[in-house]
Structure 1
Amino acid sequence: MKVNNTGAKSVATAQVQAKELEKNLKSGTKNVDDFDKLSTHDSTKIKMSPEAQAFQKAKAIASSDSIDEAKVARLQKLIDEGKYKVDSAAVANRLIDDHLEIGE
């Protein structure tokens, strides 16, 4: 029975490279090329799931500063005065539409 031992070599090499990089970072040497040395595979790619992509997009939107202050003030005034009416059918329809759109 022949056992391929190349995996152990690449792990050991990666560990040595990581230690060298850590030493360089602690000493103040910051070389971008050092990060490239840590990769044992040149073509490593990551593909995010559709859910992760949607979450990332929602997170970006939530962190953006695109709040319409005038609209918020207007709605707050209507709520405070008890004049803001919720159309429950419209809310339900929108929730269903959003759910169906995400499922596609």
Structure 2
Amino acid sequence: MKITHNKVGQNLNLTDSSRSDKADGIKNKTPNAGLTKADALTSSNLGESSRVELSPRAQEAKRIKELAMAAPDVDEAKVAKFRALIDEGKYKVDAKAIADKMVDEHLEF
């Protein structure tokens, strides 16, 4: 039994020694004595490695993301094709079609 009496300047702690000895015996037998349940779970898992398993859908999404990240941002072949057309004077720009598309895009917002 533990009694604490707190007054200004006074702390009185009385402990029932028979219960204290029993509690000490239990604490010594328990490997995680004095720990909270969360602490005990954490300390018992310290030596083990954690393992995460992804669902097939998550694995597919990961694979798609990796493929997208590996692809180049610029299609060099397409750029070379249009650069050649422009240099040869064969690439014609339809200014009216571009203006119409710009207006349509602006009206969508």
TM-score, structure 2 as length reference = 0.32
Higher helix share: 1
Structure number with the bigger relative contact order (C-alpha 8 A, sep ≥ 6) is 1
- Which is higher, the Rg of structure 1 or of structure 2? 2
TM-score, structure 1 as length reference = 0.34
